[in-house]
Structure formats: C-alpha cells, structure tokens
Structure 1
Amino acid sequence: MNCEKYKKVFDENNGIVKLSDFTGAGYHNTVIDRLIREGKVIKIRAGFYEWQYEDVISEAVIINKLYPDVIICMDSALYFYDYTERTPAAWHLAVNKNSTKSRFKIDYPKLKIYYIIEKYLKIGISETEFEGQVLSIYNQEKTICDIIRYEKKMDKEVFNKAIRTYATDSNKNVDRLIEYAKLMNIEKKTKLIMGMLL
C-alpha cells in the first residue's frame, strides 16, 4: 500500500490525527485499520491515531491534540517554573470537574488528572511554550495556592522547596497570591505559610 498520501494527513497534524480529520481529507476509515495492521499507525485513544515515525512524537503534541482543555498544574507547573528539581512521573493536569474520566485513560504519556470546580479552574491561567507547543499552565501564584490547598497530598520536600523558591522569586506577585488565596478560601493558611518567608 502506498502510504505517502496518508502520511501527509498525519504530517499536517503534528503526527496525530482525529478520525474525522482523516475521513474529512477524503479517505475511508477502513484505511486506518490497514495502517494499524501494517504497523504504520497506532490508536492512542478512541478516535485518535498516531503515525509511527522514527522520531518519537513529543508528549506536548499528544497533550495538545487530545486534551486542548487541560491546564498544567501542581508538580508539572512547579517543574516548569523551576520550583522543583524533581521531574514529575506524570503530567499533572487540571480539567473541569464534569469532564468524562474515561477520556484520560491512555498508556502514554502518563497523566495525573485533577478534576476542579469551574470557579477555581479559571483562576490564574497563563500560557507556556514547550517542545514547540503552546500549552495552558497556571501562573506562579495559582500554582502556589494549589499546592497550599493540596499540601497534605504532596511530598513534603517538594512542597517546602517550592514555597521557599517562590518566596525568593523576583517575578512573584504577593498581592495576586493573596487575591487568589481569598478566592480559593485559603487566605489564612496562605498568610501563615508565606508570612514567615515574605
């Protein structure tokens, strides 16, 4: 089978294609099955397929394509801001509390999903560029509020290092931190933890 014309559809979509995009390009959905049998394509979740290039497709591309609605949070955000030296074992991602849980059942990349209520989900969203992809990420202040909120579920060492590093960050915005803490009902706890360092 001449695969170049099919590969072109994948190339135009960063290597990951939605079935509707593939059929929209004029190809029958049974072609995907043939490409899978020939080892050219793998199914990454229902309705999404990845071309098997020699170079591995970036995790950021997969996240962006499959989950355009997620926001990088917690340990992953700490890593992006250099508030931790520990590389997270999974992508920590925030999503609307009402999102279907089954859509996050994939083998690769590893995901840790936080289901957040709407009023907290929209606070402090920023953007970052990673591996050529623009991804949504919580800003430093929202990230600090999140780890304070989930302190008991966090590794103590990671938590303490992140708090100390934020306190010495020249880009920190303490007014914004307190504003977010108020919105998230953790103002007292935030002032107590940060008060010793700021």
Structure 2
Amino acid sequence: MKINETILKVIKSNNNMITTAQAVELGFTRSLLSWYVKEGLLERGCRGVYILPDSVCDDMYTLMLRSDKMICSHDTALFLNGLSERTPFMHSVTIPSNTKLSNPLQKECVCYYIKPELHQLGVITRKTTLGNEVRCYNAERTICDLLRSRNRLDEETVISGIKNYAASSEKDLDRLATYASKLGVEKNLKRYMEVLL
C-alpha cells in the first residue's frame, strides 16, 4: 500500500504535511487520510493536519494552515521577530473581531481580537525554527500589541520585548509612532520609551 502520487507530491512540497482541506481540494475524500494513518503511512500532526512518519510537526505553521484569518502576534511575534529567546508554550494569534475560531483551535492558541480594518496592519512573513513561512506582525506592530494587551501578559514579557526592540538596529521609530497612534497606545508607548531610551 502506497500514498497516492498526487497527495505525496503535495506533502513533499509542503514540508512533509498536508491538511484535510488540501486533500479535499485535490478531489480526495477526508477518510482517505485517516485510512493512511491506520496503515501507518501518515501520522496525525494535529486536528486536520497529517504528516509523514518521523516528521516533526511545526505547531506554528499548522496553526496558519488551519485558518487564513490568524496572524501570529504578541509573544509569538516577539519570538519570530528575534525580540525574545523564548518560544511560547501556547502560540498567540490575532484575528478580526468579526470572525471566530473553531473550539478546537481556541484550545490550541491564545487568541486576541482586533477591528477588521486594523487586522492587516504590519503583516509580514517570518520563518519558523523549522523553516516554514508564517504570517506574523512586524516588530513595531508587535510592540503596540504588547502595550494594548499588557493586562493579559506578564510584565516581564512586555518590558523585555520593548527593551529588545529599543536595542535593535532595525527599529523604525516613525513606523512605531504611526502604529501607536492607529492602535491607541501612544501614551503608554511614550511612558515605556522614556524609561528605556
């Protein structure tokens, strides 16, 4: 028993993984992937994501595959932007306030909501430690998000993120000021920056 060539081609081009949605789009049934799991040809990485045996599941990347509305943010974006050494235990994502994540997805990540018109502000792509590209906010947007959500985050994460940003040679203070204005955190930003710069 072998994996269908079409499916295998997609798996190989997708860093050894495939989603149920991708298989259905190719014209295969959902049950085929489950059958491959029973046969030992695939493993279930997480809900709706299947990987080749002995492959490492990239949690951040599989989250992105499961919803095109999610953008890595807060402590996860800090890590992706090189402003934190710590990989978050649970990844943080931001979605528009007029959408909702499925219950299984809500249990797998920390979700923040933002007005739809601000959702795409500062979106870039970064590589995960396993080399997959994911959507995430740039450093300036991430700093503003930390300030917006500081009551939900530990103070150490906020302070170290801002300190690391302030020390970065790639910081763009004009962009930071623009984002702070749009996201309503100018006063908080000024207070932190006066202490750190």
Q: What TM-score bracket applies, with the shorter chain setting the length?
A: 0.7 to 0.9
| Ranges in structure 1 where 5+ consecutive residues have no aligned partner | none
Comparing 33-42 and 182-191, the one that deviates more: 33-42
- Quote how far apart the aligned CAs of 1:88 are: 0.7
Give the direction of change, closer, same or farther, for the CA distance of 1:103–1:10 in structure 2 (3 Å limit): farther
- Quote how far apart the aligned CAs of 1:167 are: 1.4
Aligned residues: 193
Q: Distance in 2 between matches of 1:28 and 1:149?
A: 43
The answer to whether the 8 Å contact 2:94/2:113 transfers is yes
The answer to whether the 8 Å contact 1:32/1:41 transfers is no
Residues 49-92 of structure 1: CA distance to partner in whole angstroms, max 9, x if unpaired? 41441222322442342233321110011112332233210111
Residues 30-65 of structure 1: CA distance to partner in whole angstroms, max 9, x if unpaired? 4344334334443843xx341441222322442342
- Quote how far apart the aligned CAs of 1:170 are: 1.5
1:128 partner SS: strand
Larger radius of gyration: 1
Give the direction of change, closer, same or farther, for the CA distance of 1:29–1:167 in structure 2 (3 Å limit): closer
- What is the TM-score of this pair, normalised by structure 1? 0.81
Give the direction of change, closer, same or farther, for the CA distance of 1:19–1:79 in structure 2 (3 Å limit): closer
Give the direction of change, closer, same or farther, for the CA distance of 1:175–1:23 in structure 2 (3 Å limit): closer
Q: Distance in 2 between matches of 1:155 and 1:56?
A: 30
Query: Match of 1:91?
Result: 91
Query: Match of 2:38?
Result: 37
- Quote how far apart the aligned CAs of 1:144 are: 0.5
The answer to whether the 8 Å contact 1:104/1:111 transfers is no
Query: Match of 2:191?
Result: 192
Q: Structure 2 matches for 1:110-189, cutoff 5 A?
A: 110-130=108-128, 131-189=130-188
- CA-based RMSD of the aligned residues comes to 2.7
| Ranges in structure 2 where 5+ consecutive residues have no aligned partner | none
Give aligned-pair identity as a percent.
Answer: 25
Query: Match of 1:72?
Result: 72
- Quote how far apart the aligned CAs of 1:195 are: 2.3
- What is the TM-score of this pair, normalised by structure 2? 0.81
Q: Which amino acid aligns with 2:148?
A: R
- Quote how far apart the aligned CAs of 1:169 are: 1.3
- Quote how far apart the aligned CAs of 1:178 are: 1.0
Q: Distance in 2 between matches of 1:157 and 1:49?
A: 34
Give the direction of change, closer, same or farther, for the CA distance of 1:5–1:78 in structure 2 (3 Å limit): same
Comparing 31-40 and 162-171, the one that deviates more: 31-40
Q: Distance in 2 between matches of 1:85 and 1:19?
A: 33
